[in-house]
Amino acid sequence: MKARIPKHREFVIDIQEEDEARQQECWEKLQQILNDYKKQGKSVYTETFIEDNEDKVKALQQEYKFEYTIELR
Tell me the whole-structure pTM to 2 decimals.
Answer: 0.86
What is the full DSSP assignment across 10-43? EEEEEE--SSHHHHHHHHHHHHHHHHHHHHTT--
Average pLDDT, the chain: 93
Q: Which amino acid is at 39?
A: K
Domain boundaries, the chain: 9-72
Residue 30: count other Cβ atoms within 10 Å of its Cβ: 20
> Is the predicted pLDDT of residue 72 greater than 80, yes or no?
yes
pLDDT of 21: 97
Displacement of CA 1 from its chain's centroid (Å): 31
Contact 26, 60 (CB under 8 A): yes
Over range 39-62, report the average pLDDT: 94
- Quick one: how far is CA 54 from the chain centroid? 8
Which tops the pLDDT comparison, 8 or 31?
31
